[in-house]
Structure 1
Amino acid sequence: MAARKSRSLYSTKNIITGIGGQIINIVLGFVARTFFINALGQEYLGVSSLFTTILTMLNISELGISTAIVFSLYKPLAEKDYEKCQILLKLLKKIYAVIGIVVLGIGLSIMPFLPYIIKGNTEVANIKVIYIIYLLQSALSYWFYSYKNTILQADQRQYVATLVGYFITLSVHLLQISVLLLVQYTNLIKAQTGFVVYLIVNLVFVVVKNIVISKRVDKLYPHLSDRELARQTQELNEEEKRSIFKNVIGLACYKISNVTLSSADSIIISSYINVAAVGIYSNYVLILNIVITLVGIVFGAFTAGIGNLYVTESKEKSEFIFRCLNLLNFWVYGACGICFFYLVNPFIRLWVGEDYLFPIAVVVVIVANFLTDGLQNAVISYKDACGLFWEGKFRPIASALLNVVVSLIMVRYLGIAGVILGTIISRFLTTWWFDALLVHKRAFNKSPAGYYFRYLRYLAIIVATALIVYPVANMIEVTNLILWMVKGIVCFFIPNVVFLTIFRNTEEFRYIKLIGKDLLTHIFKR
């Protein structure tokens, strides 16, 4: 009971700080994006999105090492074996130093190929300088004590890093908005110089964030400070090294797949269509990422708890919690996906104008990609928390290759919609069925048939609910923000009523309701 309360308390803190701070960041993020578009335009937005994507792919160099270390830290933290924690963190510190150098080296080797990645001419000057700043930002994210965030993840205290991160992000947004205002309304800074300053602000605060988090970790865990790590001379035994190495190899394959699935689309769009289209696509991704981030905070808050649950409770209990998380995941993603479909184009029209809209066919495919990816959250959370990194290590490679091949073929016939559809097809042919099979066989000792049925049933319910919403949503023509909010209330209300009607008597819903009451109790006690 005490372990359950501890898991719930830490999860609650992680969720509250995550969602609370994220709401502030969402508002500031939209304000900053608006100033960015008004001051710099589509081409700069496209270049920014493209280079962010490229550097995200370079982060494959991390190979999932931090996740493997987090998994290895669960047991020593639970047993208060701080010596083992010191050994693991010291190892991660050394590895991160090397990874930063590797990212820098690979990134520099890509520079000669930038003209082939960016199709046609662009008005953005100093492309190579801009790329180098992005590259330095990525490399620096592995240095300056960044490894210390791992202990917070493993100990379910991610809320500490989250709070620091939000204060840093707030400072970054305010400074960047100031730079953009100078570009837009004065002659003091030209667009190309303003963009460079805009990026340097972010670069500096990457280092500041790591240093501040390091200081907080040293206060919370004095036995894991740099001084204590320096005194630690022991190393992992051969069996422990093999275990971590095995997990890293498995994780590397999964990370390559995930990064390819999320990043290849923008690179293909830039190479086969144009960089401005990447900028337009990035606005849709920005809005979707708000939902993904908020849901990710909830599931991330529970992941360490799942790892603890896996090593302390029965497989039957663990599988039941999985079904509950799966239902919660469907509910949130289903309602948000329906809202996104009906609200995104009216919102973008009000926000930045008609020039930044995709046709409805592309929006349908974007929503389908969002749903098919998001509905796998519970499986991914359990796979990571239970340490199932080695098994099925070749699946991600197949998934990544298939994604690139299918997207390259379909972009020629369907344009942007074809690129995204290629991602959906590759996901269904590989990730969807295999990861569920792995989790059910290894973590629960049972067939995944029930999961497959529920997944397809959930998708069918979402589609049917979207059709129910259609006639009501179409009655509201959005010409201002008030009408958009009215349409949003309708689009949010109907799916939740439908879902509640269908699932209110299920055992999973009753458990979610119970946990929800516990969370509210913790919130009001604060």
Structure 2
Amino acid sequence: MANESRVKKSFLNARVNFLCYLVVLFISFYTRKIFLEKLGTDFIGLTGTLSSLLGFLNLAELGVGSAIGYVLYKPISDGDRVKINEVISVFGYLYRWIGFFILGAGIVLSVFIPLIFPDTIFQFGVIYMGYYAYLASSMIGYFVNYRSVLLGADQRNYIVTGYFQLTNIIRVLIQMVLAIYIQNFYLYFALELIFGIINSIILNWKINIIYPWLKSEICLGRQLFKKYPEIGKYVKQLFLHKIGAFVYGQITPFLIYAYVALPVVALYGNYTTITQKVQGLVLGVLDSTGAGVGNLISEGDNQKSYKIYQELFSVRFWISAILTFCFFRLSNSFILLWLGEEYLMSSLIIALISVQFFLSFLRGITDQFLFGYGLFYDVWAPAAESILFVAVAMIAGKAWGLSGVLCGPIVSTIIIIYIWKPYFLFTKGFKKSYLAFALFFIVHSIPMLLAFFGTDYVVDRFFSDKISSYSWLNWIIESAMFTTIISISSFVLLYPISSGLRSFVHRFIHIRR
């Protein structure tokens, strides 16, 4: 019965995430074009840089949310409401102090904004408005929304996703209308804060309905923190792991700004908008298994856990490769139609972004199982990943510009995420050799590459002449052809040699019945 509940919740999370992100995907592409035309490339580059700047401060979160989520798996499984209330109280206490620290650090950092943007075309009032709007929005998460961690641990993250995306869609549409008719930067940033508050009110109202018994006592948090020393241990370990993810996601725009130019941040952001939205759409489905994996591993059946890993890895690899190949072939023509020729980037840059996309997409399955096993103590790994990333990006960026900067995350991800992390999981978690992962990776790579080159040849040979003119209709036809052919051909090639894919297909058919 527990398994049935876990599977049902995973599928519900997947459905809600997919539908929400599908709507957001279309709206985001349309509104970004409007923002670029009406507010300018420099302004969009400014918003991306400010978001990254605030990301530095949020590093102080220390991985507390992840640690609490892990600690909650057991009491949720046991239905221990007393312990859940105590853990949430500890979480609220820790988040309150983190929020005060980030607020103070944010105020201090704001003093240096004129040094960070020395040659800006914007009034500093606009920059400060955006900065403090983003800072205040992040404070809501620390002081008000902390109880939502229970929804994630309880496999009810579809509630957070649904309400967040609904308010996000309304906000973006209002910003778009204002950009068309008013073009006021202050209003743009004010809406970021207003809708953050609205989302918080709705989310907490829903939490009170689902968990009427949830009574967090922040004033008791310090005392209860001593009762749960494992939280402190996991926080220390997960803090360093957050550094790697933070560096990967936040520092790239700064390095591009440093070694190229602020407008290039926006050009690069156009392509990463595509990858991020596609990742959000698909990972919302695939990552819905995260809490279920944690519950599965807690049962102690290592062989069953490894079997599920094989299934999830096979499906994620197949989907990751298809989406990566589609992005590589179709992104430039999409940008041309969406924004215009002046926003295009070179084939080399597209290839590097494609590799980044694949590596960041596929890594999630190994991360899920490392988290489920509580394997956080390789604290040197994220530090090494960050150092590798920054060192390679700075050295190569100085020599080759944007393409050099993009080599940083690729090199660090391959070494740490695809060599060390699987070794750590397989030897400490599954009790198997790393060679099992390496073989598994190779077995899946060969048929996917064959399918890509074959599909690329077929589309070029038989269809390109018929759809060579640039129009949305022709782009859609080419996209549909390429995606359909590579999906079918790769599945036909992969299915006979991937036991994980076969097992997943059989499981899916059984569930549907």
Amino acid at match of 2:317: F
Q: Could you say which residue in structure 1 is the equivalent of 2:98?
A: 99
Picking from 306, 312, 323, the partner of 1:319 is 306
Q: Could you say which residue in structure 1 is the equivalent of 2:185?
A: 195
Amino acid at match of 1:134: Y
Query: 1:470 & 1:369 partners in 2: Cα distance?
Result: 21
Amino acid at match of 1:138: S
Picking from 385, 393, 410, the partner of 1:424 is 410
Q: Is the 8 A contact 2:330 2:479 kept in 1?
A: yes
Amino acid at match of 2:383: I
Find the residue that maps to 1:10 and give its secondary structure: helix
Q: Could you say which residue in structure 1 is the equivalent of 2:74?
A: 75
Query: 1:327 & 1:118 partners in 2: Cα distance?
Result: 45
Q: Is the 8 A contact 2:313 2:500 kept in 1?
A: no
Quote the offset at 1:104 in angstroms. 2.0
1:160-179 equivalent positions in 2, closer than 5 A: 160-179=159-178
After superposition, the C-alpha distances for 1:419-471 in whole angstroms (9 at most, x for unaligned) are 11111011122222111122112221111211122224434444443322333
Quote the offset at 1:233 in angstroms. 8.4
After superposition, the C-alpha distances for 1:1-40 in whole angstroms (9 at most, x for unaligned) are x122111110011011111111111122222212211111
Q: Is the 8 A contact 2:133 2:192 kept in 1?
A: no
More moved, 352-361 vs 164-173: 164-173
* Structure 1 residue 397 corresponds to structure 2 residue 389: no
Instruction: Label 1:515 to 1:217 Cα distance change in 2 as closer, same or farther (>3 A).
Output: farther
Q: Is the 8 A contact 2:90 2:225 kept in 1?
A: no
After superposition, the C-alpha distances for 1:293-332 in whole angstroms (9 at most, x for unaligned) are 1232123210110011001151001001001111111111
After superposition, the C-alpha distances for 1:50-85 in whole angstroms (9 at most, x for unaligned) are 111222232211111111111111111111111110
Q: Could you say which residue in structure 2 is the equivalent of 1:497?
A: 488
Picking from 481, 485, 492, the partner of 2:476 is 485
Picking from 345, 348, 372, the partner of 1:358 is 345
Query: 1:105 & 1:237 partners in 2: Cα distance?
Result: 24
Q: Is the 8 A contact 1:326 1:378 kept in 2?
A: yes
Amino acid at match of 1:107: G
Q: Could you say which residue in structure 1 is the equivalent of 2:504?
A: 512
Q: TM-score, normalised by structure 2?
A: 0.93
Instruction: Label 1:515 to 1:39 Cα distance change in 2 as closer, same or farther (>3 A).
Output: farther
Instruction: Label 1:462 to 1:209 Cα distance change in 2 as closer, same or farther (>3 A).
Output: same
Query: 2:442 & 2:308 partners in 1: Cα distance?
Result: 20
* Structure 1 residue 331 corresponds to structure 2 residue 318: yes
Quote the offset at 1:118 in angstroms. 4.4
Instruction: Label 1:308 to 1:41 Cα distance change in 2 as closer, same or farther (>3 A).
Output: same
Q: Is the 8 A contact 1:118 1:274 kept in 2?
A: no
Query: 2:332 & 2:123 partners in 1: Cα distance?
Result: 27
Q: Is the 8 A contact 1:117 1:267 kept in 2?
A: no
* Structure 1 residue 436 corresponds to structure 2 residue 426: no
After superposition, the C-alpha distances for 1:173-223 in whole angstroms (9 at most, x for unaligned) are 22212211223xxxxxxx4xx122111112111122122111111111111
More moved, 127-136 vs 357-366: 127-136
Instruction: Label 1:142 to 1:363 Cα distance change in 2 as closer, same or farther (>3 A).
Output: same
Query: 1:456 & 1:195 partners in 2: Cα distance?
Result: 50
* Structure 1 residue 215 corresponds to structure 2 residue 202: no
Q: Could you say which residue in structure 2 is the equivalent of 1:187?
A: none
Query: 1:501 & 1:114 partners in 2: Cα distance?
Result: 55
Quote the offset at 1:343 in angstroms. 0.8
1:237-252 equivalent positions in 2, closer than 5 A: 238=226, 241-252=228-239
Q: Could you say which residue in structure 2 is the equivalent of 1:465?
A: 451
Query: 1:368 & 1:21 partners in 2: Cα distance?
Result: 26
Instruction: Label 1:468 to 1:176 Cα distance change in 2 as closer, same or farther (>3 A).
Output: same
Q: Could you say which residue in structure 2 is the equivalent of 1:407?
A: 393
Q: Is the 8 A contact 1:176 1:201 kept in 2?
A: yes
More moved, 457-466 vs 444-453: 457-466
Instruction: Label 1:118 to 1:337 Cα distance change in 2 as closer, same or farther (>3 A).
Output: farther
Quote the offset at 1:262 in angstroms. 1.6
Q: Could you say which residue in structure 1 is the equivalent of 2:195?
A: 205
Query: 2:36 & 2:459 partners in 1: Cα distance?
Result: 29
Query: 2:4 & 2:206 partners in 1: Cα distance?
Result: 24
More moved, 458-467 vs 246-255: 458-467
Q: Is the 8 A contact 1:365 1:420 kept in 2?
A: yes
Q: TM-score, normalised by structure 1?
A: 0.91
Q: Could you say which residue in structure 1 is the equivalent of 2:259?
A: 272
Q: Is the 8 A contact 1:119 1:272 kept in 2?
A: no
Quote the offset at 1:417 in angstroms. 1.1
Amino acid at match of 2:476: M
Q: Could you say which residue in structure 2 is the equivalent of 1:293?
A: 280
Query: 1:340 & 1:233 partners in 2: Cα distance?
Result: 47
Unaligned runs of 5+ in 2: none
Q: Is the 8 A contact 2:106 2:135 kept in 1?
A: yes
Query: 1:84 & 1:123 partners in 2: Cα distance?
Result: 51
Instruction: Label 1:519 to 1:301 Cα distance change in 2 as closer, same or farther (>3 A).
Output: farther
Task: Say how many residue pairs are matched.
Answer: 506
Query: 1:468 & 1:57 partners in 2: Cα distance?
Result: 44
Q: Is the 8 A contact 1:87 1:234 kept in 2?
A: no
RMSD: 2.1
Unaligned runs of 5+ in 1: 184-190, 522-526
Amino acid at match of 1:244: I
Instruction: Label 1:127 to 1:28 Cα distance change in 2 as closer, same or farther (>3 A).
Output: same
* Structure 1 residue 447 corresponds to structure 2 residue 433: yes
Query: 1:457 & 1:57 partners in 2: Cα distance?
Result: 39
Find the residue that maps to 1:156 and give its secondary structure: coil
Query: 1:83 & 1:232 partners in 2: Cα distance?
Result: 13
Q: Is the 8 A contact 1:406 1:422 kept in 2?
A: yes
Amino acid at match of 1:265: T
After superposition, the C-alpha distances for 1:472-505 in whole angstroms (9 at most, x for unaligned) are 4442425101110111112212221232122223
* Structure 1 residue 379 corresponds to structure 2 residue 371: no
After superposition, the C-alpha distances for 1:127-159 in whole angstroms (9 at most, x for unaligned) are 233222222222233222x11111111111111
Amino acid at match of 2:502: R
Q: Could you say which residue in structure 2 is the equivalent of 1:186?
A: none
Q: Is the 8 A contact 2:6 2:292 kept in 1?
A: yes
Instruction: Label 1:225 to 1:374 Cα distance change in 2 as closer, same or farther (>3 A).
Output: same
Q: Could you say which residue in structure 2 is the equivalent of 1:38?
A: 37
Picking from 337, 343, 346, the partner of 2:333 is 346
* Structure 1 residue 139 corresponds to structure 2 residue 125: no
Query: 1:107 & 1:246 partners in 2: Cα distance?
Result: 27
